[in-house]
Amino acid sequence: MRMTLAVAVLLALLPLGLPPYAMTLLTEALIMGLFAMSLDLMVGYARLISFGHAAAYGLGAYTCGNILLHTDIPLPLAVPMAGVFSGFIGIGIAWVCTQATGVSFSMLTLALAQLLYAVAFKWTSVTGASDGLAGIPRRPGPFGTTYFSTKIGFYYLTMACLFGSFLFARALVRSPFGAVLRGIRENEAKTLSLGYNTRLYKIAVVAASYILGGLAGALYAPFAGFANTELLFWLLSGQVLIMVIVGGTGTLVGPILGAAFFLLVQQQLSTYTDSWALFFGVIFIAFVLFAPEGILGLARRRRSVRSH
Amino acid sequence: MIGLNRRTLLASALASPVVLRHALGDTPIKIGMPVALTGPGGEIGAQMRRGAEFWAKHTNAKGGLLGRPIELVIQDTGGDPAACVRKAQDVVERDGCRLLYGMTYSSEALAVVPKLAEWNAIFMSSVNGDGRLTGSSLVPNFFRANTSGPMGTRAVSLYLRPAAYKGFFAIGMDYAWGHNSIGVFKDEVQRAGKNFIGDVYSPIGTKDFSTYIAKIRQSGADACFIVMQGDDNAAFLSQAKQYRLSDKVQLLTEVVDLNSIAATGEAAVGLIGSSRYSFTFPGEANAEFVEMWKKEYKTVPDTFEGEQWQAGLVLAAGITKAGSIDADKLRPALENIEIDSIKGHVKIRACDHQGEQQGFMVKVVKKEGFDKPIPELISTFAADRVTPGCGKMTYDS
């Protein structure tokens, strides 16, 4: 708890000394961090490996984009609304995908996400098809405040979403509900035989994950002022899975670090080479081989070595 | 002694080139250029980059603008609007660019323009066709030096008025520009009392056009309007040749460029279309530009290289007149500015920031002295006939 508070204070103070470009990067890192953390709920705690988590992100982004473009609902309300909508769709997606387990589950998540991608490509009136939704505004309010429309205000809104989501997710995995999830992760048959309806639990965690993932997407739309089909594409699903694994699965904090690390490396490498993804691939392989517990695991290992 | 050394060190650090340059007032004018260098639009992006680099080099050789050198900050967008917004934000916030150039697809430009006010940056379009950019999506900091999609389409339809074609079909790339231009074309055809049979759209990057070509053949149209560019255009034209589409249907296109002709070879001969720029355009200014270009690149300039050059001329005139690159000073300077360009007289209207300019129709022919077919000018339309009313995309007469 003390650690969380310290990080919160640090992040809250950062805007005071950072140039606009760094602020943009940091805001994006927090959004991606939230997105990666949402996937960790599924991957790290229930071993539900989703290859289609971009669906949550894209749903959130398109929903929030449409709310902001076509209604007067203020930004701080539009974002959670889009998250909830994404979670609602997530229930349906989970209902279908949890018919299967293991690799089949992963393939179903990929298939459904690609289905949404194809729909977005054709549903011009809602998604703008390949042109996307442009000029998504940060609507002022509530109570007439324009604070959240500013760069710093938007950063704090993002930060609040990330911390709120983190506290929610942590409470969730520490609760008896989380214990059942871990039971599913370790031995689903045994958990089932103990009398738990594991499928319901899985649907619930996917829905929670979609709410948080949708929240991240909902923040991205007004952040970039733009949303298009890329946000539903499998490439993003793959990237966020990499962030989770590089950061450390089943830790919630790890994936946030993984996302920041991913963006940082992308930013640095892409200024030197167009094939930055190739180099990131090497980094990813190195993590899988030598540090399967991810960045957070590495940090913890170092700390425990030092304390001995 | 040591103390003195330290002080000397400090002084020399302060006198480093960066600091000195500020003092002399010759910090470069940075122009951010997020452009598609990879993907299906990569060839167009490459033309835009060459055009911009040539203009920057030429301008710098003459002492730059306001005594400051031009520096281009070029970033690849891959033709993706989302990446384009990110790259544009990068060049503005990280590199401190207050001027933007480039953006290959209209969808990229449409995604970026809502951000211009926040960045306090001016964007000079050199290739973006979608009429909405100077219509419903116009923002104060956007300017278009190039021929827009509606203007190119208008030239084609004016040319077609006396022609005998009765039924028209249209194929366009499935994004902003394709839909916009075909919408304008449909309107023009119907107002001329002719039959618009139907339209079809192919996703950006389509390689196999056989089903689309079959559709065009079956439509019974005697002419087909094509709104494509880059790799898609080249692929469509060469497959149209394989299917002998032009035996049955007159192909008309909104953009005739050398690159697509070269990729198509002999198949392009007979193609009629509007041209945004061609090295074959008349006038001394163009002849001079083509000579300069040949000296540098050993070949003639292509469509978007010429358009990029013209955009450079407009921007340079504006900056010189404003005496500043500050958006609040440059904006009024660019409004109503007039220049003599390689395409003739160009005036940037104050009302919608569109460059009024002539419309050109060309036909692709084989000519002696050229190993590949070239576009030959067949008709020219005055600026007031091809430029739409302020903020509009359709025409009244």
DSSP string, B242-286: HTTHHHHSEEEES---HHHHHHHGGGGTT-EEE-S--TT--SHHH
CA-CA distances (angstroms) from residue B220 to B101, B181, B184, B214, B217? Answer: 42, 22, 21, 11, 6
Angle between helices B303-322 and B327-334 (to 10 degrees): 110
Confidence of residue A255 (pLDDT cuts 50, 70, 90): very high
The pair of structure tokens assigned to B42 is: 């990569």
Can you give the pLDDT at residue B10? 43
pLDDT for residue B257: 86
pLDDT-derived band at A142 (thresholds 50, 70, 90) equals confident
Mean pLDDT lowest for which of A223-227, B10-14, B269-273? Answer: B10-14
Cβ pair A228:B80 closer than 8 A: yes
The confidence score (pLDDT) of residue A141 equals 75
Q: Is the pLDDT of residue B315 over 60?
A: yes
The structural domains of chain B, ordered by start, are 12-148+283-356 (3.40.50.2300), 150-280+359-386 (3.40.50.2300)
ipTM score of complex: 0.81
Model confidence pLDDT, tens digit, residues B54-91? 999 999 999 899 999 999 999 989 888 988 999 999 99
Q: What pLDDT sits at residue B35?
A: 94
- A228 in contact with chain B, both atoms CB, cutoff 8 A: yes
Residue A63 forms contact with B (CB below 8 Å): no
Mean pLDDT (chain B) is 88
Chain A: residue whose CA lies nearest to B137: A135
Average pLDDT score over residue span A154-172: 94
Give the per-residue pLDDT at B331.
Answer: 93
Chain A residues in contact with B203 by the CB 8 A cut-off are 121, 130
In which band, very low, low, confident or very high, does the pLDDT at A298 lie, cut at 50, 70 and 90?
A: confident
pLDDT at A307: 64
Residue B211 pLDDT greater than 90, yes or no: yes
Mark yes or no for CB contact B81/A134 under 8 Å. yes
Residue-by-residue DSSP string for B38-71: SSTTHHHHHHHHHHHHHHHHHHHHTT-BTTB-EE
Specify the pLDDT at position B20. 41
pLDDT tier, A31 (very low <50, low <70, confident <90, very high otherwise)? very high
User: What is the share, in percent, of chain B residues with pLDDT greater than 90?
Assistant: 58
Please provide the average confidence, as pLDDT, over all residues in chain A.
89
Q: What is the spatial distance between Cα B58 and Cα B64, in angstroms, rounded to a whole number? A: 8
What pLDDT shows up at residue B15? Answer: 41
pLDDT for A308:
61
> With bands split at pLDDT 50, 70 and 90, how would you rate the model's confidence at B39?
confident
How much is the average pLDDT of B244-258?
88
Contact of A226 with chain B, judged by CB distance below 8 Å, is answered with yes
Of B89, B113, B204, the CB nearest to A130: B204
Q: What is the pLDDT of residues B336-367, one digit of tens each?
A: 999 999 999 999 999 999 999 999 999 999 88
B258 touches chain A (CB under 8 A): no
Please compute the mean of the pLDDT values over residues B180-187 and round it to a whole number.
90
Give the pLDDT confidence score for residue B25 in this predicted structure.
52
B107 at A interface, C-beta within 8 A: yes
Q: Within an 8 Å CB–CB cutoff, is residue B38 touching chain A?
A: yes
Q: Please check the confidence at residue B204 and state whether its pLDDT lies above 50.
A: yes
User: Shortest Cα distance from A141 to chain B (angstroms)?
Assistant: 19
Calpha distance B177→B129 (Å, rounded)? 6
- Considering only CB atoms, B82 lies closest to which of A24, A132, A135, namely A132
Does B76 contact chain A (CB < 8 Å)? yes
Chain-chain contact of A134 with B110 (C-beta, under 8 angstroms): yes
Distance CA A293, CA B243 (A): 58
Task: Specify burial of residue A182 (Cβ count, 10 A radius: 0-12, 13-18, 19+).
Answer: middle
Q: CA of B193: how far to CAs of A7, A233, B155, B160, B165, in Å?
A: 70, 44, 17, 12, 11
pLDDT, position A289: 87
Contact list in B for residue A134 (CB cut-off 8 A) is 81, 110-111, 113-114, 137
Share of chain B above pLDDT 70, in %: 94
CB of A24 less than 8 A from some CB of B: yes
- Tens digit of each residue's pLDDT (9 = 90 or more) over B126-182: 999 898 999 988 999 999 999 998 999 899 888 888 888 889 999 999 988 899 889
How confident is the model at residue B182, as a pLDDT? Answer: 93
Report the alpha-carbon distance of residue B271 to residue A134 in Å, rounded: 35
Candidate from A21, A132, A231 with C-beta closest to B111? A132
Task: Identify the weakest region by mean pLDDT among A4-18, A19-33, A250-264, B377-391.
Answer: A4-18
**pTM value surpassing 0.90:** no
pLDDT score at B3: 41
For residue B367, what pLDDT is reported? 87
pLDDT of residue B22: 44
pLDDT recorded at residue A18? 84
Q: Tell me: the pLDDT tens digits for B1-22?
A: 344 454 444 444 444 444 444 4
Question: What is the C-alpha separation between A238 and A249, in angstroms, rounded?
Answer: 15
Q: Is B5 helix (H, G, I), strand (E, B) or coil?
A: helix
B203 CB within 8 Å of a chain A CB: yes
Domain boundaries, chain A: 2-234
Per the CB < 8 Å rule, is A135 touching B137?
A: yes
**pLDDT attached to residue B294:** 93
